[in-house]
Amino acid sequence: MPGSAPISCLGPWPKDVGIIAMELYFPSQYVDQAELEQFDNVPAGKYTIGLGQARMGFCSDREDINSLCLTVVQRLMERNGLSYDSIGRLEVGTETIIDKSKSVKTVLMQLFEDSGNTDVEGIDTTNACYGGTAALFNAVNWVESSSWDGRYALVVAGDIAVYATGSARPTGGAGAVAMLVGPNAPLAFERGLRGTHMQHAYDFYKPDMVSEYPVVDGKLSIECYLSALDRCYSVYRNKIHAQRQRDDSEKHFSLEDFGFLVFHSPYCKLVQKSLARLMLNDFLNHPSPNTETGHFAGLDAFRDIKPEETYFDRDVEKAFMKASAELFERKTKPSLLISNQNGNMYTPSVYGCLASVLAEHTSSQLAGQRVGVFSYGSGFAATLYSLRVTQDHTPGSGLDKLVSSLSDLKVRLNSRTKVSPAVFSESMKLREETHHLASYIPQSSVEGLFPGTWYLTRVDDKHRREYARRPLDDDLPAEPERVRSSTAAEHIPSPAKKMPRIPSTTAGPEAASSN
């Protein structure tokens, strides 16, 4: 198994608690954003340049939040050779609610049945796109607490992001991320370095319990996102300066102290603006910035501005996006692979960005780096924290295994099926008309789903949902139409084993929310 959880949890504080393994799932079909621009009769570039999006993954009526999470959990367990009795905590972060009482976590417990392990703490955590981060913090805190029994924690973040027809629809997407948490992790949480901001706002919310669509105040949502970023960065910076003072260091903290920076990504252009926003913060908080040369050259005219008055200031935005362009290319752009190609996944969005960084670099390039992570959820809740990558990047190390497991992301993205905007629109209409129906049999075909994907087979007259799994081998007969967990003998023995074969493809804004 990856990592090395001790037999007993007694003794000193567990060392280097963090992310040991990750698995990512996204739908097997997508719509091209350039084609969607034409279909929606909007100016060319509105989605592709204005939002920075190329493709958007979406789910048919065969997939829901339960099936997404079933898929990503079983894939993580199989690909890492994990037994289900090695998990002591399982928590799900999601805002895709299909039941007001029963948690997604309880549905996932069906995967544990063959192992006999029912001693698994945790339930669902919900607050827009922040739920996955809250679940991750809970898992880390559990491992570092007196409640820990020496087993791993498993965190799942999953969502289906859909919008009504209009300017926000191209910022949709779907997917799920599963993360194995424990000690001696290749991605360890830096203790004490979290900056959090919590406030009340109606920027994005879902008051209609029978609809998947949110109510969005796009401008307010962006203002909330950027103001939360300002405040979280300020708290984080103060905490790291306090740590340095205790260590008798007077070194000034700046963006250069991060090897990589990843952000919750509703759309890629907002992420680019967010990095520029952090440079604005560095500039305003520097005691004596050099405006003659370097990153701050030519920015002296902005020395006395007030950050809270600049959320929609085009001059400030343009100047600092230009000033931060090199940093963006180096520290943040690699994180946007999944966001650009699959769209907004809500709770897993920022962790899709983290997975993208791991997929776009070698173990040696990542070793020893500090990764800044900004997580935002509307309503609103936000945290900026950091992970420290282990120095050990030798073959077979935890970092090497983690990076290797994500190295196929581009292959998987390019193996999806492209569908026309008209088909996409019909699929959204079908979801809209059948969402939360009882006595419903999904209409979409399961043939295009990736091997190993769980899917919805029926909803009975009491709203009880049943699922089946596509076989890992396309030549095998379909599994019975019920949730079925694997036995230990079915687990893939090697963490380095490649993903199952994926079917080949059949074809080659500001109004958006920041949820």
Binding-site residues from annotation for CoA: 221, 269, 273
Selected catalytic residue, list 197, 264, 295, 393: 264
Do strands 454-459 and 124-125 pair parallel, antiparallel, or not at all (unpaired)? unpaired
What is the enclosing helix (H) or strand (E) of 313?
none
Q: Is 95 a catalytic residue?
A: yes
HSE (CB half, 13 Å, CA atoms) of 16? 19
Dist CA 345 CA 265 (whole Å): 8
Dist CA 368 CA 477 (whole Å): 47
Selected catalytic residue, list 95, 190, 212, 360: 95
Nearest to 69 by CA among 38, 43, 93, 46: 93
Selected catalytic residue, list 23, 59, 63, 129: 129
Q: Which two tokens mark 12?
A: 């000193």
Instruction: Count Cβ neighbours within 10 Å for each residue of 282-292 and write b for 16 or more, e otherwise.
Output: bbbeeeebebe
Dist CA 74 CA 80 (whole Å): 10
HSE (CB half, 13 Å, CA atoms) of 186? 24
Compute φ and ψ for 231, nearest 5 degrees.
-75, -40
Please, which residues bridge with residue 458 across strands? 466
Dist CA 217 CA 224 (whole Å): 10
DSSP 106: H
Instruction: Count Cβ neighbours within 10 Å for each residue of 33-66 and write b for 16 or more, e otherwise.
Output: bbbbbeebeeeeebbbebbbbbbbbbbbbbbbbb
Q: Is 69 a catalytic residue?
A: no
Q: Considering just the CA atoms, what is the radius of gyration of the chain in Å?
A: 22
Dist CA 23 CA 80 (whole Å): 10
Phi-psi category of residue 133: left, alpha or beta, with phi > 0 → left and psi -120 to 50 → alpha: alpha
Q: Which two tokens mark 176?
A: 């799920």
Three-class DSSP category at 154: strand
Instruction: Name the residue with tokens 């173990």.
Output: 363
Q: Is 200 a catalytic residue?
A: no
Nearest to 506 by CA among 420, 416, 408, 423: 416
Dist CA 197 CA 380 (whole Å): 8
List the catalytic residues: 95, 129, 264
